[in-house]
Amino acid sequence: MEKIGIDTAFAEPGVRLSINLRERCRMHDLNEALDDLRAVIPYAHGGSVRKLSKIATLLLAKNHIIMQAKAIEELSILVSQLKRKSENLENLNKSLKPDAN
């Protein structure tokens, strides 16, 4: 019984062309997604600045996400503190007001 290897399947021109087309489409989609990501992450967009590499784009996006998560956490803590202060002031205000009775 004859074994059919991967090389045999690639010998057919139609199969190889189909594989190449799929890979080109995949790379096109990946590059388009990276371009979209570059457009929304903050970095120097000046004309003299080279386009970020794929790895630089991903690392910059990761760092940006981490920074945003930390900012959200800090703001959440600040909001909690302000709510407590507001509640304390309301309670103090209620205790200082004479009863309407």
Domains of the chain: 13-96 (4.10.280)
Q: What backbone torsions phi and psi does residue 49 show, to the nearest 5 degrees?
A: -90, 130
In the prediction, which pLDDT does 46 show? 64
pTM > 0.75: yes or no: no
- The pLDDT value given to residue 6: 60
What's the pLDDT at 31? 97
pLDDT tens digits, 11-67:
688 999 999 999 999 999 999 999 999 999 988 666 667 889 999 999 999 999 999
Residue-wise pLDDT tens digits, 69-88: 999 999 999 999 999 999 99
Q: Among residues 34, 76, 84, which one has the least CA distance to residue 58?
A: 34
In the predicted structure, residue 2 carries a pLDDT above the cut 60: no
| Distance between CA atoms of residues 42 and 65, nearest Å | 11
Query: Do the Cβ atoms of 71 and 80 come closer than 8 Å?
Result: no
pLDDT at 10: 60
Task: Supply the pLDDT for residue 63.
Answer: 96
